[in-house]
Amino acid sequence: MSETVFLDRETLDGGDLDLSTLAAISKDWRSVGRTAPGEVALTIGEARIVITNKCVIDAGVLDACPRLELINVVATGVNNIDVDAARARGVTVTHCRGYGTEAVSQHAIALMLALSTRLIDYHQAVQRGRWEQSPDFCLLDYPIRELAGQTLVVVGYGDLGAAVAHKAEALGMNVQLAERPGVETPRAGRLTFEAGVECADVLTLHCPLTDSTHQMIDAGILKRMKSTALLINTARGGLIDEAALARALRTGEIAGAGLDGLSVEPPVNGNPLLAPGLPNLIVTPHSAWGSRRARQRIVEQSVENLHAWIEGAPIRCVT
């Protein structure tokens, strides 16, 4: 049996990454494109080290794989790992951090720009032949706004939020920071969540999905936003009440939204935000993080994680 097993390589590598340094760590390496849920324990077998992105490793899998000592998650989120069960069995869990800061912040700005310039609407108008039918040299069917001078409110000011703020300032935006919901006394230099929502021309979310942030953007919050405001979410889909957002877009409560992902991914049973005809909405398929460079950083961090663990000084540990 293999010493090291990568359970779901294809969720990270589309054939464009260099995995040689990762494969070279173990004397016996096996890489599997995808592992079905019912075959995780069988695929792990007698391996001591497992690399995974989204495969679920719960207490049952851990019990079936007693030789397992290290789980390295090639992502930041570890909700697919029973961390408590791993800790109880002495299994170390490591993950990767900060690899997608540039890619995700770039994507957030791209969504702001596309919504503000109505880029997709104009592109589709040209494809429909509207420009060819125009009596004028140009089409100005959709209102265009400039981001310069607009107020960007950032909720979640970690590395990602800071990177978005930096890029937005380069565009001439007025950047404000807001606390998460429930904070009544904001830190110096920050607004309450409610005050931030009300003053935002663009509201961008960069906070984790927790019990306190679940559907933090609900019908009440959407009503408090400016009718000209844009909502950007490159964090987790569950931060937004999606049915409420669909209604707000239809009724013009806000001017547009740009989202990278939804509450359930992939949305195999549909989603209110996938309904046809929603105005000025852009949904991308949780792809903001996926630049080749960002994914190669994950490989590089994983190599560091495995080397450090082998040397007895593990890094980026969850357990």
Q: What is the CATH number of the domain that holds 51?
A: 3.40.50.720
Coil, strand or helix at 35: coil
Please write the tens of the pLDDT for every residue from 94-104: 999 999 999 99
Please write the tens of the pLDDT for every residue from 211-258: 899 999 999 999 999 999 999 999 999 999 999 999 999 999 999 999
Q: What is the pLDDT of residue 100?
A: 96
Which of these, 313, 287, 299, lies nearest to 96 by C-alpha position?
299
> What DSSP designation does 259 have?
E
Is 155 inside any structural domain?
yes
> Residue length, the chain?
319
Looking up tokens 């961008």, which residue turns up?
A: 204
C-alpha span between 105 and 291 (Å, rounded): 12
Is 318 inside any structural domain?
no
Q: Which of 286, 300, 304, 307 is catalytic?
A: 286
Q: What is the pTM of this model?
A: 0.92
Is 317 inside any structural domain?
no
Same domain flag for 95 and 107: no
Confidence of residue 17 (pLDDT cuts 50, 70, 90): very high
Structure tokens at 234: 């490159």
Confidence of residue 168 (pLDDT cuts 50, 70, 90): very high
Same domain flag for 91 and 30: yes
Coil, strand or helix at 52: strand
Same domain flag for 35 and 11: yes
Structure tokens at 225: 């936003």
Is 66 inside any structural domain?
yes
Is 319 inside any structural domain?
no
Same domain flag for 277 and 296: no
Same domain flag for 275 and 250: yes
Q: What is the pLDDT of residue 184?
A: 85
Structure tokens at 153: 């409110």
Please write the tens of the pLDDT for every residue from 82-124: 999 999 999 999 999 999 999 999 999 999 999 999 999 999 9
Q: Which of 95, 107, 118, 236 is catalytic?
A: 236
Name the β-bridge partners of 152: 175, 202
Which of these, 33, 36, 38, lies nearest to 8 by C-alpha position?
33
Average pLDDT, the chain: 96
Structure tokens at 318: 């969850």
Domain that holds residue 261: 101-284
Our answer to whether residue 286 is catalytic in this structure is: yes
**Roughly how many angstroms between the first and final C-alpha of the chain, as a whole number?**
26
Our answer to whether residue 265 is catalytic in this structure is: yes
3-state DSSP helix/strand/coil percent for the chain, to nearest 5? 35, 15, 50
Same domain flag for 232 and 300: no
Our answer to whether residue 250 is catalytic in this structure is: no
Q: What is the arithmetic mean of pLDDT over 59-84?
A: 96
CB atoms within 10 A of CB 115: 24
E-state strands within the chain:
4-6, 29-31, 49-52, 70-73, 92-94, 151-155, 174-178, 190-191, 202-205, 230-233, 256-260, 281-284
Same domain flag for 216 and 265: yes
Which residue type is seen at 30? R
Same domain flag for 198 and 145: yes
Structure tokens at 28: 């016996």
Number of domains in the chain: 2
Confidence of residue 27 (pLDDT cuts 50, 70, 90): confident
Q: What is the arithmetic mean of pLDDT over 151-170?
A: 97
Same domain flag for 269 and 132: yes
Same domain flag for 171 and 41: no
Is 316 inside any structural domain?
no
Confidence of residue 30 (pLDDT cuts 50, 70, 90): very high
Is 10 inside any structural domain?
yes
> What DSSP designation does 180 have?
P
Q: Which of 10, 87, 265, 293 is catalytic?
A: 265
The answer to whether residues 191 and 176 touch, using CB atoms and an 8 Å cutoff, is yes
C-alpha span between 319 and 48 (Å, rounded): 16
Q: What is the pLDDT of residue 224?
A: 97
Is 25 inside any structural domain?
yes
Same domain flag for 226 and 262: yes
Same domain flag for 131 and 43: no
